[in-house]
Amino acid sequence: MKIVITCKLPEELLKSIKEKFEVVMSEVENGPMPREQLLQEITDAEGLFTNVADKIDKELFEKAKQLKVISTMAVGYDNIDLEEARKRNILVGHTPGVLTEATADLTFALLMATGRRVVEAANVIKEDAWKSWGPFFLTGQEVYGKTIGIIGMGRIGLGVAKRAKGFSMEILYHNRSRNEEAENEVGAIYKEFEELLQQSDYVVLLAPSTPETYHMFSTEQFKMMKSTAVFINTSRGSNVDEKALYEALKAKEIWAAGLDVFEVEPISSEHPLLQLENVTALPHIGSAAIETRVAMARLAFKNLVNGLEGRALVHQVK
């Protein structure tokens, strides 16, 4: 059987895979396999190892006549047309759990960096703009003891909440359903969406991308937030109306934003949000810790091999 791997992985992760399968892997360093090549290679492949940088859409499914299993090296699977997969009885696997703590770490790092203007401050030196100590030079928002509002209290949300507890933050959350574990373990308090927006100093978005969450943050939501509020998004760019965010930041309706994800990725330094000094932007690195990425790749391979050999996937997207 043939497997297509759309990203370039270290050989040591491929050893046992290559013993069992014919493998075609991207040769692009830290980038996706070119679309043309993917559409060509997928025609006779049984397995597809993918990630958030590929669009697994109807066009691809129509060419993928032999495809049995898609395994994404990610927790989010909004880049995969699940309906098309279901129609064709193609199994889809993903990698929750192994990236929870790394993504929670990065989310909290971005929260602190945005609140305390860490990246902007580091750039001041690089640009030779450090003239002296100043009483209000590069002053930001405190983190310790503030109120954090987490939208999307899943595994990663709970991970962020645990970190916030260590900073004596009051923890509010909003989620489709109540999360008793979060309420009991860290004393998180459930709030309606609007209430959370009004009361939080740090608003952290961790909801998955679904039709219901599309642009869940737009003009109205930013207007409800405190003018001192810091907005953090490490989920998916499509959850946020970027034009509305730009306007809110420019008009100082909210104080700053820390963003690891964008509506269309990658973005360049020309992006309107990058023109604002109260934006801290990262290139989608939520789970980018070495051990984590190795664990994600191993789990994604396990899903793929299990599916191709007729066993249950470890984490199947239903």
Among the residue ranges 20-28, 54-62, 153-161, 222-230, the one whose residues contact ligand GLV (CB under 6 A) = 153-161
Residue with tokens 């909004």: 78
Residues whose CB is less than 8 angstroms from the CB of residue 11 and which lie 6 or more positions away in sequence, other chains included: none
- Tell me, residue by residue from 188 to 207, as one string, x for binding to ligand GLV by CB under 6 A and - for no binding: ------------------x-
Helix (H) or strand (E) holding 50: strand 47-50
Least distance to ligand GLV, CB of residue 104, Å:
9
Residue 76 lies near ligand GLV (rule: CB under 6 A): yes
What is the radius of gyration, based on Cα positions, of the chain? 21
Per-residue CA distances from 157 to 20, 21, 151, 171 (Å): 38, 37, 8, 11
Residue with tokens 């004596």: 168
Residue 237 lies near ligand GLV (rule: CB under 6 A): no
Residue 273 lies near ligand GLV (rule: CB under 6 A): no
Least distance to ligand GLV, CB of residue 291, Å:
15
Q: Of 74, 230, 259, 281, which lies in the binding site for ligand GLV, with binding defined by CB under 6 A? A: 74
Least distance to ligand GLV, CB of residue 152, Å:
7
Other CB atoms within 10 A of residue 188 CB? 28
Other CB atoms within 10 A of residue 22 CB? 13
Backbone angles phi, psi at 107, to 5 degrees: -60, -45
Is 291 part of the annotated catalytic residue set? no
Residue 258 lies near ligand GLV (rule: CB under 6 A): no
Q: Which is closer to ligand GLV, CB of 200 or CB of 235?
A: 235
Is 12 part of the annotated catalytic residue set? no
Residue 313 lies near ligand GLV (rule: CB under 6 A): no
Least distance to ligand GLV, CB of residue 218, Å:
22
Give the CA-trace dihedral at 304, 310, 314, 318, to 10 degrees.
Answer: 90
Residue 80 lies near ligand GLV (rule: CB under 6 A): no
Coil/strand/helix, residue 230 = strand
Coil/strand/helix, residue 4 = strand
Instruction: Give yes or no for a contact between 52 and 284, defined as CB atoms under 8 angstroms apart.
Output: yes
Residue 186 lies near ligand GLV (rule: CB under 6 A): no
Which is the catalytic residue, given 236, 271, 293, 315?
A: 236
Diameter over CA atoms, the chain? 66
Is 117 part of the annotated catalytic residue set? no
Residue 96 lies near ligand GLV (rule: CB under 6 A): yes
Q: Which residues bind ligand GLV (CB under 6 A)?
A: 52, 74-76, 96, 99-100, 154-157, 206, 286-287
Catalytic positions are: 236, 265, 284
